[in-house]
């Protein structure tokens, strides 16, 4: 972390804290992929049962 003070413009810089929560886009992508897998398995399973 760096502390700089130069007149009226004081600035503190450093690394942001790690983000342990997945982003909404990632969760949406995983949800769509899971739904596609379930849908595909149901279609293939229904076709082979007859």
pLDDT in tens, 1-50: 555 566 656 666 777 777 777 778 988 999 999 999 999 998 888 665 54
- The total number of structural domains that make up the chain: 1
- Whether 46 is in a domain gets the answer yes
Residue-level pLDDT at 50: 47
- Whether 41 is in a domain gets the answer yes
pTM for the structure as a whole: 0.47
- Whether 33 is in a domain gets the answer yes
Domain with 41, as residue range(s), is: 24-50
- Whether 47 is in a domain gets the answer yes
Alpha helices in the chain (DSSP H): 24-48
- Whether 13 is in a domain gets the answer no
Residue-level pLDDT at 28: 93
- Whether 28 is in a domain gets the answer yes
- Whether 39 is in a domain gets the answer yes
Rg (CA), the chain: 25
- Whether 38 is in a domain gets the answer yes
Torsion angle of C-alpha atoms 24, 28, 31, 36, degrees rounded to 10: -170
């Amino acid at each position: 972390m760096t502390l700089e003070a130069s007149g009226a413009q004081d600035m503190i810089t450093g690394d942001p804290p790690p983000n342990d929560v997945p982003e909404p886009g990632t969760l949406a992508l995983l949800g769509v992929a899971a739904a596609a897998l379930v849908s595909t398995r149901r279609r293939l399973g229904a076709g082979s049962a007859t």
